[in-house]
Amino acid sequence: MQSCFRALERRRVRYLLISGQAAVLYGASTFSEDVDVWVAPSAANWLRLLDALGDCNARVYKLTPPLTLPYARRGHGFHFTIPPDAVGDPPGYFDVMAVVPRCPPFSTCACRARHLRTAWGTLPVVHPVHLALIKRTRRLADYDTVSALAQVELRREPSRRTWRWAIANTFDAEGRRELWGTAPATWRAGLRRPTMTAAGVARDLERARQADREYWRDIVAELKTLERRGSLIPEGTLVRDWRTS
């Protein structure tokens, strides 16, 4: 995967590391198999991305529409495998999006990104506030990650603003009660007491999951239509071969 990030840098691709690997780097998760990036949705940047994927011999993995900017701008994900850097290692799984759920535009999020050292070099990583929005998916396990991320960020920046954000992004009743009860009185002054019952937190969680279902509904429907028409890129296709076909 290091060769992939070197290719992105060499081709000057504007991107942010997001999702599971970002959560791992922030200490809010312990494992993620895939590497997910969010790329700036400009025509020039998209072409630079395809060049970088070609450089590192990326292959289409699964359920991937044509690698065109219109599909990217409609919110589709593009899935690839990257050859291993060392003989005997497994291939890496590399997912790309140009539009991500619930976040402000790429340019806004890029301004708040943090540059973190990783095994693949120093990479731009989406800010925890935006990462929490991305991770509000249909998967229940992602809400444990969001809650952990809230705790990590509050320890890093113990301010009233971060505390209020952390409560809104904590999806267990006990955690919310602890955050509320241990905060300085000045932080709680003038604020409405948040929902801190198990039933109330469960309702908040389900509302977030339903919003994610609605977000993906039209995108998934279009993907299924492409699949019925045989318009998805065959799994295993080299990106460079698709571009020249």
**pLDDT tens, N- to C-terminus, the chain (245 residues):** 899 999 999 999 999 999 999 999 999 988 888 999 999 999 999 999 999 999 999 999 999 999 999 999 999 999 999 998 877 778 899 999 999 999 999 999 999 999 999 989 999 999 999 999 999 999 999 999 999 999 999 999 999 999 999 999 999 999 999 999 999 999 999 999 999 999 999 999 999 999 999 999 999 999 999 999 999 999 999 999 998 87
Q: Is the pTM of this model over 0.85?
A: yes
Residue 127 confidence (pLDDT) = 98
Helix (H) or strand (E) holding 82: strand 77-82
Output the pLDDT for position 31: 80
Q: What strands lie across the sheet with 15-18, from one edge to the other?
A: 59-60, 77-82, 92-97, 34-39, 15-18, 121-125, 114-118
DSSP 233: P
- Based on its alpha-carbon atoms, the radius of gyration of the chain, rounded to whole angstroms, reads 20
CATH 3.30.460 assigned to domain 2-133+218-233? The reply is yes
pLDDT digits (tens, 9 = 90+) for 151-199: 999 999 999 999 999 999 999 999 999 999 999 999 999 999 999 999 9
pLDDT confidence of residue 30: 80
Q: Where are the domains of the chain?
A: 2-133+218-233, 141-209
